[in-house]
Amino acid sequence: MFDPYISLFSNPSFVLSFKVLYYLSYVFVPVASCIIIWDLWLIMRRTQFSQKQTHVLLEVKLPREVLKSPKAAEFFITGLYQTFGEANWYEKYWKGQTRAWFSLEIASIDGGVHFFIWTRSSSRNQIEANIYSQFPGIEIYEVPDYTLPISFDPDTTGLWATEFDLNKPDAYPIKTYVDYGLDENPDEEFKIDPLTPLIEFLGSLDRGHHAWIQIILRAHKAEDKDPEGDSKKVDLKWMKAAKKEIEDIIKKAKGDGDKPMRLLTKGETETIAALERSVSKLGFDVGIRAIYIAPKDVFSLSNVGGIIGGITHFNSNLNGFKPARGPAPKYKYFPWKDRNPNRINRQKQRLLDAYKRRAYFYRPYRKPHFVLNTEELATMYHFPGGVSTTPTFSRIESRKVEAPSNLPI
């Protein structure tokens, strides 16, 4: 019965392999242990640092008329570019400090559409000052977290969730407000606002339905190792990637061998210009997450199409968004291979928990992110004017004015 095993253990090749692994374990085991201990140390220090931070959720309420273009939103988003906190080895690894990250959110709660900004308390004054300076008549309030009362019970609640990814390398831009001509502050009747379809859909949901869009961002930094061996950090994900894409387009035009270089086509010229414009502005590490949740008796996967369509509406011929992952095995956008209901429900709960924690860049909720510049972010998150007519849009009904100066005292 045991003859095959006895012959295996007596095989010289097996004995030699076992001895090699045995003696190498004196090297590999300590190294692996050090890596694990270091990883746990870093998680502990970052957790301790995070627990010391306080955060607030701000709701932005809009006046009846917003006459500014998304360029004004780009101004306040630029103010979120904060790289301090990870300046050196001591801050990053010993103290566990992290760059500040922010969450820009558009949420439909019982059909009412709201704009939220989640931030560290220390950044609140700066954010409010930047918004007030660009949007007269706007109001900002600290509000309770709308996500906390919501829980997921597989027996009574339907939930769909996903994260988004880019179709092409990060340096290729999506379709921005500049492409729609919104940088010139056009009259309301001539505006074509790419955010409006998403707002109108979110405002059409009935009571009991919740649809949340979350854009998490932090300042993008050069963090890659130089492939040429230099100790200086380089930006292979965005700046260098754009340079390489441009070089590849020009190289393609040059041709091979003795073929003379041809003129760049109109499309190639426009692509190079778009790449150069894309990386000329500040970049942010970005993660986008969407959740739709409702009681099972009214939950409808047909609403998922409205959410995905609202996000992919920013797609251009150069780049765009696609659902990256999500526990929805029966939905065509997610050919989920795992049909285990319990595991799918755990995935749903994890995505809901990550949304509530506004977590994306660090463990245990670290996910692959991409880079968008301020122009792209302002296209996806700005305050629409009267072109958005949905009656459930959260606006300020009355306008504040100063008292006349000649009132008797």
* pTM for this prediction: 0.83
The first and second tokens of residue 326, run together, are 């999500």
Lowest pLDDT segment from 147-156, 302-311, 350-359, 388-397: 388-397
pLDDT of residue 181: 83
pLDDT of residue 6: 58
**Average pLDDT in the 56-66 region?**
86
Half-sphere exposure of 357 (CA within 13 A, CB side): 17
Higher pLDDT, 269 or 1: 269
Using DSSP's 3-state secondary structure scheme, residue 216 falls into strand
* Domain limits, the chain: 33-220+282-380
Q: Residues 381, 136: contact at Cβ < 8 Å?
A: no
Q: Residues 297, 151: contact at Cβ < 8 Å?
A: no
Mark 347-386 as b/e (b = at least 16 C-beta within 10 Å).
bbbebbebbbebbbbeeebebebbbbbbbbbbbbbbbbbe
Q: How confident is the model at residue 173 (pLDDT cuts 50, 70, 90)?
A: very high
pLDDT of residue 391: 55
**Average pLDDT in the 171-182 region?**
89
3-state secondary structure 242-281: HHHHHHHHHHHHHCCCCCCCCCCCHHHHHHHHHHHHHCCC
> CA 93 to CA 103: how far, in whole Å?
24
- CA angle, 48 as apex, 43 and 51 as ends, to 5°? 120
> CA 178 to CA 221: how far, in whole Å?
25
Higher pLDDT, 227 or 334: 227
Task: Tell me: pLDDT of 121 over 70.
Answer: yes
Q: How confident is the model at residue 393 (pLDDT cuts 50, 70, 90)?
A: low
pLDDT, tens digit, 9 for 90 and up, residues 68-119? 788 889 999 999 999 887 777 788 778 888 889 999 999 999 989 999 999 9
- Comparing CA positions, the residue from 385, 389, 179, 212 lying closest to residue 303 is 212
- Cis link prior to 364 (omega < 30° from 0)? yes
Lowest pLDDT segment from 16-25, 43-52, 218-227, 356-365: 16-25
CATH no., domain 33-220+282-380: 3.40.462
> CA 324 to CA 166: how far, in whole Å?
8
pLDDT of residue 42: 82
pLDDT of residue 194: 86
Q: How confident is the model at residue 392 (pLDDT cuts 50, 70, 90)?
A: low
